[in-house]
Structure formats: C-alpha cells, structure tokens
Amino acid sequence: MERARVISLAQIPAAAYVSKEKQIFKLNSQITNCFLCEELVKSRTQTVPGYGDFKAKVLIVGEAPGRFGADITGVPFTKDRSGIFLQKMLNKVGLNLSAPESENPSLKGVFITNIVKCNPRNPDDTNRSPTNPEIKNCMEYLTKEIEIIKPKLIVTLGLPATKFVLGNDFNGKNFGKIKKLQKFSVLPLWHPAFVIRGGGAQRMNEKKYFKYFKKIEKIISKQE
Ligand code: SF4
C-alpha cells in the first residue's frame, strides 16, 4: 500500500478546513470498520485507534494493542503493565491528568497510538509482533494520524515502532537520542515492557526512563 499523500494545511482552502477532532473522528470510524488483516480480525476484541489531545505537540507511537490492555479497553497503553507504566511517567510530568490506572486517560499535549491498530496473537493466545504485511496494511492510518495531529516530536516506543518511523537501519544503540527530520523530530525510546523487565544491558530503570519524559515535557512547554 502506498503512503498517503501529504497535504499541508496551507494548500487547503479556508472553507474546506475541517477541525482535527472531526478528522480524527472520521479516521477512527474507518479504522473501526477495517477488515484488511484476516488474522487480526479474528484475534482482536476490537480495533484500537489513537486518542489524546487533538492539539498535541507530541505523538507517542507503540507497536500494537496488548491482549491484557488496549485490546480490552479500546484505548492504547491502558490497563496492562506497560500501559500503566507509561501513563505513570506521563502523569508525573503533568501530561496525563488522570490516575495511571485510568482506562480512559485525559492527556495534555500528547496523542498516543500504535503502528498496528489490532491485537496480534499467537495460536496459544499470547501477544505476537505484527507481520510486515499487517504493518503495511495499517500504515495508512498512522500516516493520516501524523498528517492530522502534525506533531513537533514523535516518540517511538520499542524497535518495531522506531523502525517504522526511522527506517530499518535504526539500531538499539540510538535509543534516547533525538533525530531531527524535515517535518518533526523523533525521540526513539525503549518500550515500557523492556524497562519493566529490567532494561537489558544498560539497566534502563524507571528513574533513568523518567528523565526522558521530563525532556518531553520541556519540549511541549517550549512550544506553548
Ligand atoms: S491492523 Fe489495521 S489494517 Fe489490519 S485490520 Fe486492524 S485496523 Fe485494519
């Protein structure tokens, strides 16, 4: 599937301007009625579109809804351990106005989504990573979310989401380093699940991880 054509707001006549909220609402209804991935249509409980502040300067992108979290709530990064951990980070810097355990968090300055909007599962019912064809099928929705929200910074969580945005050459050594692209900057971060599991060789723990969220909050404050 080809990437959707990027149209700048300057190219749209004033009379044709549609609010970001309406555009996201329309996109979400397309996602809700999407049956492109045969296996995911069977494994998902529901589709999980992005959500958050329509005026967000920061877009956070994960891999896919988890079976114990977003697949149940319909809201990315809620209910499961990774979701609550991420919401806790955002809550501590004032970017989530709800309790970390909320299944419908109120976000400030942030919009959260995934590269794939349906929960992929193995035959034994555990989570699996989305396949390349599934990522390709869903790519247009994330591209549209980026076009509508127009973030200044995209924070990718984990390798698959980072490779989707920065390309397959990205390797884990560059996690935590901001890369400037033409239309936005990208901050590739470790997935919350990786931090919860001990953070690998670099021992990325909650305290170290939190520093990146302070940085994200500063970037948002500067834009206001
Ligand atoms: S993952 Fe994306 S493309 Fe595939 S069925 Fe779900 S919404 Fe459609």
Q: Which of 29, 38, 40 to mutate to test the pocket of ligand 1 (most atoms within 8 A of CB)?
A: 40
- Taking the centre of ligand 1 as the mean of its atom positions, its distance from the CA of residue 217, in whole angstroms, is 31
* Ligand 1 atom closest to the CA of 41, numbered from 1: 5
Percent of the chain, pLDDT > 90?
A: 86
Give which of 80, 52, 54, 53 is closest to 65, Cα–Cα: 80
Residues 6+ apart with CB under 8 A from 10: none
Q: What is the pTM of this model?
A: 0.91
Residue 10: band (very low, low, confident or very high) from pLDDT cuts 50, 70, 90? very low
| Residue 12 confidence (pLDDT) above 60 | no
pLDDT digits 0-9 by tens, 129-185 = 999 999 999 999 999 999 999 999 999 999 999 999 999 999 888 999 999 999 999
What is the separation, in whole angstroms, between the first and last Cα of the chain?
36
| Residue 41 confidence (pLDDT) above 70 | yes
| Residue 32 falls in which region: left (phi positive, over 0), alpha (psi -120 to 50) or beta | alpha
Instruction: Quote the pLDDT of residue 16.
Output: 56
Level-2 CATH architecture, domain 17-223: 3-Layer(aba) Sandwich (3.40)
Instruction: Quote the pLDDT of residue 3.
Output: 43
Tokens of 19: 């609010």
Ligand 1 binding pocket includes 48 (Cβ within 6 Å): no
* Ligand 1 atom closest to the CA of 64, numbered from 1: 1
pLDDT digits 0-9 by tens, 174-213 = 999 999 999 999 999 999 999 999 998 889 999 999 999 9
Domain residue spans in the chain?
17-223
Residue identifier of the C-alpha nearest atom 2 of ligand 1: 138
CB hemisphere CA count around 80 (13 angstroms): 19
- Taking the centre of ligand 1 as the mean of its atom positions, its distance from the CA of residue 115, in whole angstroms, is 10
